Structure formats: C-alpha cells, structure tokens
Amino acid sequence: MSQPWISNVYNFVDGVDNLSAASINPVINSLANRDQYLYDQLQTALTQNLLVCLDQPFATTYANGTPVYFNTSSGTPVLQAALSTYQASSTDGHMFPAQSAFVFGIIKQTYAGSNSGDVYLRGLITDTSINYVSLLDTPSAAEVGSGTILPGPLFLSSVDAGCLSIFPASASVLVGYYLGGSNFVLAPNIDSINELYFNFRMYLNPNPAGTAVLTQSGGNTWTITSPSTAQLGWITTQQANSLLGINSPYTGGIATATVSGGGVVTGITVVNGGAGYTSAPTITISGSGTGATANATVVNGVITAITVTAGGTGYSSLTPPTVIIIPGAQFYYNIPTDAQITALVTANTITAKQGQDAMLLKRALPAYPTAYTMMFVNGVLQTQFDGDHTGGTYLINEDGIWWTNNTTGYLPWGGGLILELFVTKLNPNLGSSIVTSLTAANQSVTITDSIGQSASTGDLDISLNLNTQTVNNTSGIGSAVQSLAFDPTSGLLTVNTAPVINSITTGPGINLSLSSGVASLSLSNFSLSGEVTDLEPQEAPLVYKGLNSYLRLIRPQPNQQVGFIGRFMVPSSIPAGSAITFSLIGFTDASSATGSTTIGFEFDYVVTNTGSSISSAQTTSTLSIPGVSFPALSQATITLNSSNLPYFTIASGNFAAGSYVNFRIARTYTTGDTYANPIGIIGVLWAIG
C-alpha cells in the first residue's frame, strides 16, 4: 500500500461492550482494509502518468476532448467521432456493438492546417482547453441545463457522435470520471461490451401506422384503417399478413368472414391456424352487425376450422366483420426501411431518437439468442404471451413484436403511453474478444501464476527478461541510443547507437543553459565598446589648444548644421538583441555652460553589410537634448544610454556583426536653445550592448 490509512475505527472490548470482540472486530477491520484498498486505487489513478498518442490521422477536424475510435472500414485507419451503438452481423438475429463504440481516446489537439493531431489515451487530464459541458450530448445537455456537470462517470453517447453522456447507453462505454473543472480521469473501458450478454433498451412508437377506429359503434375493440408500411407503428395481424406476407405468431390464428346479401354471416375461412392451442379459443365477430357467433376446432394445437353457430344480422358484405381469435396476436409492430425512417424524421413525423431506436431495433430483431425480454407500459412490467401464459400482453418471434390485447384501455397506443422494450442477448462475438490463454513466444517472457509457477490460464503475471546486443560499435562515451528493436525470434533487444555530444565547455563571453535535455548557448550579458577613430569635420573647424585638438561646434544659424561624420566597423561577434550607442567626449569654452541647458542635434546614419552594395539608405532623427551639463574647460563624458535618453542610438535589427556604419552628428538650430557658446568635441565613443 502507498501509505497507511488512518481509519480511526473503534474496536470493541470483551467485558466492556455487549458485543464480542472476536465476532465484531474482524468485520470492522475488513471494512477498514477495504477502504484502504479503495484509497490506494484512487491514488494510483490520480498519480499515474498521462499517456498521449502523437500525430494520429483524423477523419476531419474535431474539438478538443472529442471521444474517437479507429475507423478501418475505408481501408486506411483514421480516428473518427465515436458513438455507442450496435451493428448487425451476417445473421440478423445477432446484435453486437458497432466499431464506433470501441473508444480509442479523446482528442488533445488538432494540428493547424491538417486533419491530424494528438490523442489522450489514459490518465488524469487537466487540460483547460477542453470544455466538457460543450461535449455533452442532447439528453445530457438538457439535464444539465445552464448548470455544471457534477463529478461522476461520463459515458460515450448513443445519440450524438463524438459526445459524452451522463446516462449509460445500452452498449455502455465508460469514457472516464469527471472530477470537476478541467480535471478528468480518462480510462476508456469497453469491458461491458465484451461481456457474455448484451442488455439494451428500445422505445416503441405508441401510435398506429394508420388510423385507429372502433370496429363497431359502442364497442370496445379496434381496427386500423389506411395502414401504411412506410409508417412506424402498429397494424393489425390481418394487415401484417396482407401487406407484409407475415403470418400471426405461433399462438395467433387468422380468419376471415363471409357475409350474404342479407347481412348474415354465412361462413368463416381460416387463413392461419396458428399453433400451440391447448384448447379451443374464443371466437369474436366484430363488425357493423350484431348477433354472429362461432366456435373453433383445434387439432394438434392448430385451428383447423371455425363453424358459424349464429349468423346474426346487419353485417356488410362490402366490409366484412373482423374475426378475432382470443387468445392470439391482434397487432403487429411495423418498422419501415431505414430510408423510410429517415424520411419520417425529416418530416418531423417522429423524433430523431425514435428513428434511431427503430433502426437499431430492426437490426436487433429477432431478439434471439436471448435470456429474456421485458416490456414495460408506463413503467409497469407486462407478461409475455406463451402457451403457459395465454393472458400475456405481448410476444416476440422471428417476425417481430406482437400485441395480444384488443380492448379499449389495453391498446399499444394512446396519449402519454410509454412502451419500453428490454432485451438481454447472448454476445455471439464473445469468443473473439476474450483472451483464454497466454503462451510465451521465447525465453525473454516469463508467465506465471500468483505463486510464481509457470501457467497459461487464470490470473497471470508477465515479466520480461530482456538481454541486449549493441550494434554499430559506438557504445560508450560519446554515443547514445538511437533506436531499440525487439527480435521476437531471438528474444534480444537490439540497441542501435550513434555518436552524440555529451559535454560542452564554454569560453569567455558564452553562457550555457541546460533544460529538459536541451542545451542553449548564448553570449554573456556584456558590452563591446571602443573609440571612433575616423572623424571628418562638417563646417566645424579643428582647433588646437596646446597639445590638445578638438572640433569646435558653434551655435548654428537656422538651416545650418555644424558637426562631423564618423565611420567604424561593427565587431564580428556581438551580443544578441544589442544596440549601438554613441557618446561624446567634450567641453565648453566658458563656465557659463555649467548647469542644465537645451541643445539641438541631428543624428544620421547608414549601414552597409559585407558582400552587399554600398547602402544609400539614410536614417535621420532630429533631437533636442535637455538637461545636459558641459563642464567648462575640462574633459567630460556625456553618457547617453538607457539611464538617460538614447539619443545617438542605432536600434537592434538595423545592423549586423561585421557591418560598416557611417554616421553624422551635427549641432542644429533649435528654438529654445539657451546655450549660445561653442562646444568642443574631443572624441566619440561607441558601445554595443
């Protein structure tokens, strides 16, 4: 266990408590141990690694969090929106989950501009890009409304492809457990669709496939006029025979009456004798007349004849009366073709859910091999009709679903009626979806039982005993594993190696950063600097004072510039993202310059790179430099950098290592220039950093 469980369980003591410690303490301890086990399992689920499958093909672009399955029907497998549903096998009586019900995982992301991306397979997901409320199917969204999803299991939807549901479907597929917020424990579980039996539920349409009318005025039995096999609903057993060629089920006979011109029933012809009758059934003649009666003759469980005992009066020869054989099927549930069902949904005659259930039920019938079926009417369980229960309400055979009661108040249609059919079916694919034994292919795999003995069935432990062989002869220092390949014949794990850099030594001015196995090299945070040695005056005289010389920049007149042009070459190695800043070494002729003043300058430059034509592009900026002090008759460095204003600056990106830079700094006429005396420029310094 991962850590002790603090149970705080009270233990009973003999002689103090009325209960025996020997009888009660083992029970309490067992419960505490069970809690510990559940706690450990939860901790394991919450701390396990998140498994992601990268770069998988998608059928189209999907929202993050969409549950998907591998669709192999088109040849090349692609991930497609999953749906919990069934498919028909080559034998119509079988019903098993469709390929779309086998969830592979949920979408992590779709790559931009392509139908591919990454898929979460298992683990605790904390992805804030997944909106679980928007992934709910229609019934779940209606249940949640404008609220939030409560923590609990989320299943694969059986209504909307690529959606989650708070309601388990008949092919119940647990996608994962929602913890709230963006936390979701993904663990696709398709065990329930690999079980011995399938349990599924379908809703039947509680409407006739025509118009329901009373067989006679004041009576309580019904027939259906204008029946249509293109409609979803109930028709009479006679109509099932005439329209679909289906005879009533084993216990339901069918007969027709003959009426004379005087309105008297003169004979009854048996159309289908049925089967399984243990005694003569009751014959009811229902039509426009009254008084007709008849008796049935049964031989070996089959109705062989029906004899008229009273012809009655008032019956129509144009519309002969209905012969009702009780017990027996009275109505048949008609399911149209898929195309007809789709047309009914499009016309809003039935809902999409009714249409989906009808298509699935058509594939599910006949409902065998089955363990049992159950029919609920408004939540009340109905008895299935058979030879021992002739009062049953419904029966299911190879032809479909039949209803045996034709009495007002007990019909399979009506306002507010809810018909639910539950069927438990044997899984015909069980043998192909269950591992029955495991055998080791070579000595690298050991399969044992719980006590360490070799075994192939039951609860098994599998261990690997892999030996390796290295190829390419580059193992050791300066090499790394390039690929691994397992040889199932020899049981050896082949290690392919390749030369790699396993050590980096840095020199001055170079930084090394290692993060998640990635080495990043960068220049140190330093500045390069120097003096511009090539200066040419521009309307500025070169003045000598003793052994000193300087350029004398007088206060210019309007439209006049007094300054100099400089040239220098950018070093071949410079810090990334750096700029060039120029500073002046200067003084004034008089002490009157001491203090804050405003001086106007214009700064121009061009940059030319090695191997390219001489650039004529010129960048100009006119600057008013406030608050600069020039000490009189002394040397001073005027620093123009980030701590002040970057006046004479060439920004990063406008030059490169090895570039040639020509620049001009000129004093200009500026309104508000309060300093009228000349400035002496001894030199210019450059700095890159």
256 SS3 class: strand
Q: Which of 364, 450, 380 is nearest to 98 (CA)?
A: 364
Average pLDDT over residues 527-548: 83
**Are the C-beta atoms of residues 135 and 176 closer than 8 Å to each other?**
no
User: 548: Cβ–Cβ under 8 A, 6 or more apart, which residues?
Assistant: 682
pLDDT score, position 134:
93
Q: Which of 180, 191, 176, 151 is nearest to 65 (CA)?
A: 176
Mean predicted lDDT score pLDDT of the chain: 78
Q: Are residues 181 and 233 in the same domain?
A: no
pLDDT score, position 93:
42
**Are the C-beta atoms of residues 684 and 583 closer than 8 Å to each other?**
yes
- DSSP at 624: E
Neighbours of 29 (CB within 10 A): 13
Question: Rounded to whole angstroms, how far apart are CA atoms 446 and 451?
Answer: 13
Q: Which of 49, 99, 98, 51 is nearest to 79 (CA)?
A: 99
Question: Rounded to whole angstroms, how far apart are CA atoms 192 and 177?
Answer: 16
Residue 626 has pLDDT above 60, yes or no: no
- Does 470 or 344 have the greater pLDDT score? 344
Quickly state the pLDDT bin for 129 (edges 50, 70, 90). Answer: very high
- DSSP at 593: G
Quickly state the pLDDT bin for 643 (edges 50, 70, 90). Answer: very low
Per-residue pLDDT reduced to its tens digit, 66-120 = 999 999 887 788 999 999 887 654 344 445 678 888 889 999 999 998 899 999 9
Q: Identify the domain containing residue 243 by its residue range.
A: 211-426
Residue 509 lies in a domain: no
Q: Which of 352, 348, 346 is nearest to 159 (CA)?
A: 352
pLDDT score, position 379:
87
Q: Are residues 456 and 419 in the same domain?
A: no
Q: Where are the beta strands (DSSP E) in 433-560?
A: 445-448, 461-464, 467-471, 479-487, 492-499, 510-515, 518-523, 528-531, 534-538, 542-545, 548-553
Q: Are residues 537 and 566 in the same domain?
A: yes
Q: Are residues 497 and 533 in the same domain?
A: no
Q: Are residues 534 and 488 in the same domain?
A: no
- Cis peptide bond prior to 369, omega within 30° of 0: yes
Q: Are residues 603 and 646 in the same domain?
A: yes
Residue 650 has pLDDT above 60, yes or no: yes
Average pLDDT over residues 355-368: 76
Q: Are residues 224 and 129 in the same domain?
A: no
Residue 7 has pLDDT above 70, yes or no: no
Q: Where are the beta strands (DSSP E) in 278-412?
A: 282-286, 290-299, 302-313, 322-326, 331-334, 370-377, 380-381, 394-397, 400-403
Quickly state the pLDDT bin for 36 (edges 50, 70, 90). Answer: confident
Query: Please, is 172 exposed, middle or buried when counting C-beta atoms within 10 Å of its C-beta (0-12, 13-18, 19+)?
Result: buried
Q: Are residues 602 and 497 in the same domain?
A: no
Residue 516 lies in a domain: no
Average pLDDT over residues 246-255: 66
Residue 557 has pLDDT above 60, yes or no: yes
Residue 370 has pLDDT above 60, yes or no: no
Q: Which of 577, 584, 565, 581 is nearest to 636 (CA)?
A: 584
Judged by average pLDDT, the poorest of 322-326, 445-449, 605-609 is 322-326
User: 360: Cβ–Cβ under 8 A, 6 or more apart, which residues?
Assistant: 85, 86, 200, 202
* CATH label of the domain that carries residue 667: 2.60.120
Residue 519 lies in a domain: no
pLDDT score, position 594:
44
The label of the residue with tokens 């002790």 reads: 4
The residue count for the chain? 689
pLDDT score, position 645:
38
Neighbours of 648 (CB within 10 A): 22
As beta bridge partners, residue 305 has 297
Q: Are residues 319 and 386 in the same domain?
A: yes
Residue 550 lies in a domain: yes
Quickly state the pLDDT bin for 16 (edges 50, 70, 90). Answer: low
Judged by average pLDDT, the poorest of 9-23, 318-332, 462-476, 628-642 is 628-642
Q: Are residues 252 and 361 in the same domain?
A: yes
- Does 325 or 162 have the greater pLDDT score? 162
Residue 37 lies in a domain: no
Tell me the backbone φ, ψ of residue 41, rounded to 5 degrees: -65, -40
Q: Where are the beta strands (DSSP E) in 524-677?
A: 528-531, 534-538, 542-545, 548-553, 561-569, 580-588, 598-608, 619-626, 636-638, 649-650, 660-668
Q: Are residues 232 and 365 in the same domain?
A: yes
Average pLDDT over residues 44-67: 84
Q: Which two tokens stand for residue 616?
A: 């004529």
Question: Rounded to whole angstroms, how far apart are CA atoms 21 and 27?
Answer: 10
> Number of folded domains in the chain?
4
Residue 419 has pLDDT above 50, yes or no: yes
pLDDT score, position 107:
96
pLDDT score, position 668:
82
Buried b (16+ CB within 10 A) or exposed e, 490-528: ebbeebebeeeeeeeeeeeeeeeeeeeeeeeeeeeeeeb
Buried b (16+ CB within 10 A) or exposed e, 192-212: bbeeeebebebbbbbbbbbeb
Neighbours of 110 (CB within 10 A): 18
Sheet hosting strand 419-426, strand order edge to edge: 197-204, 419-426, 370-377, 380-381
Residue 345 lies in a domain: yes
Quickly state the pLDDT bin for 362 (edges 50, 70, 90). Answer: confident
Q: Which of 298, 291, 351 is nearest to 315 (CA)?
A: 291
Final residue in a domain of this structure, among 160, 194, 228: 194
Q: Are residues 65 and 102 in the same domain?
A: yes
Question: Rounded to whole angstroms, how far apart are CA atoms 325 and 248?
Answer: 11
pLDDT score, position 13:
63
Residue 42 lies in a domain: no
Residue 32 lies in a domain: no
Highest mean pLDDT among 411-415, 476-480, 527-531: 411-415
- Does 430 or 59 have the greater pLDDT score? 59
